[in-house]
Amino acid sequence: DQQVKQNSPSLSVQEGRISILNCDYTNSMFDYFLWYKKYPAEGPTFLISISSIKDKNEDGRFTVFLNKSAKHLSLHIVPSQPGDSAVYFCAARTNGGSQGNLIFGKGTKLSVKP
Amino acid sequence: NAGVTQTPKFRVLKTGQSMTLLCAQDMNHEYMYWYRQDPGMGLRLIHYSVGEGTTAKGEVPDGYNVSRLKKQNFLLGLESAAPSQTSVYFCASRRDNRGFGGYTFGSGTRLTVV
C-alpha cells in the first residue's frame, strides 16, 4: 500500500508561469515532509521541507504547502524556469519507529518550456 | 568535500554472478541507506544502517546483503544476480536522527543483469 502518492507522472509548464506539484499521503504519523529534485544521471538533491506542525514553508521561488486535514501537500515554483525541468519526489518521514526513514512517492517529471 | 561517492557507476552482470556496490561518505554521517529506483516505482529502501557495525532491512531487502564495517562505508552485495535486480541503485547518508537532517545522495549505480 503506497503511503506517499504522487498521482501525476508528468507536468508541463510554460517558462515564467507557476508549477504546482501535488502529493498525498495516508499515514498520520508522518512528522516531516520533503521535496527532492532529480536530474537525469544524478542523485536526488534536497529542495525544501516542512514540519507537520506548519502549513507553509517558503524558500525563494519554492513554497511548500501542507494541508494535514486533507493529508495533502503541494510544491509551488514561481516563476518556473527551464532549469527546473527535472523529476520531483515527495517524501515523508515517520516520527518514532523505522529510525525516521524516508518514504518516497513515485515522482513527477516537470518540463518547463521556454 | 566529495559527499557521497558510489562505485562503480555502471555495471553489466550475467544472471547468477555476484558483485558488491560500494558507498563512501566523508561527512561523518551516522546513518546510511541503499535505495533502488525503478521506472514508475520511485525510490524503495533496500537496507539501511544507523551506525558502524549495524544494518537493518528496508522495504525490499530480498536478494541483497549489506555490511557497515567502517563508519564511512556501506556495501551492498548481490550474491546471485537476477534480471529483476536490474535497476539504478542510490546510496544516501544522514547525520543522525535528531531533529531533521536531510539525506545526501550519491549519483547512482546503473546495474543491468542479463
DSSP string, B28-96: --SEEEEEEEETTTEEEEEEEESSTT--EE-SS-TT-EEE-SSTTEEEEEESS--GGG-EEEEEEEES-
Interface residue ranges in chain B relative to chain A, Cβ cutoff 8 Å: 4, 31, 33, 35, 40-45, 48, 50, 56, 58, 90, 92, 97, 100, 102-108
State chain A's mean pLDDT as an integer.
Answer: 92
pLDDT at A97: 54
Q: Is the pLDDT of residue B84 over 70?
A: yes
Residue that wins the pLDDT comparison between A60 and A99: A60
Contact A44 B102 (CB under 8 A): no
Size of interface A-B (CB pairs under 8 A): 52
Minimal C-alpha gap between A75 and chain B (Å):
17
Average of per-residue pLDDT across B93-111: 83
Of A101, A70, A73, residue with least CA distance to A88: A73
pLDDT one-digit tens code per residue, B17-26: 999 999 999 9
Q: Is the pLDDT of residue A98 over 60?
A: no
The dihedral region occupied by B40, where left means phi > 0, alpha psi between -120 and 50, and beta the remainder, is: left
Mutate to test the interface with A, among B37, B44, B48 (most CBs of A within 10 A): B37
Of A25, A23, A22, residue with least CA distance to A2: A25
Average of per-residue pLDDT across A36-56: 93
Alpha-carbon span B21 to B42, nearest angstrom: 20
Contacts of A49 in chain B (CB under 8 A): 100, 102
**Spatial CB neighbours of B49, under 8 Å, sequence gap ≥ 6:** B31, B32, B33, B55, B56, B66, B68, B74
Average of per-residue pLDDT across B48-69: 95
**Bridge partners of residue B16, in order along the sequence:** none
What is the pLDDT confidence band of residue A90, given thresholds at 50, 70 and 90?
very high
Tell me if A7 sits within 8 A of A22, measured CB to CB: yes
Average of per-residue pLDDT across A70-89: 97
Contact B42 A89 (CB under 8 A): yes
> Which of B4, B42, B97 shows the shortest C-beta gap to A104?
B42
Contacts of A86 in chain B (CB under 8 A): none
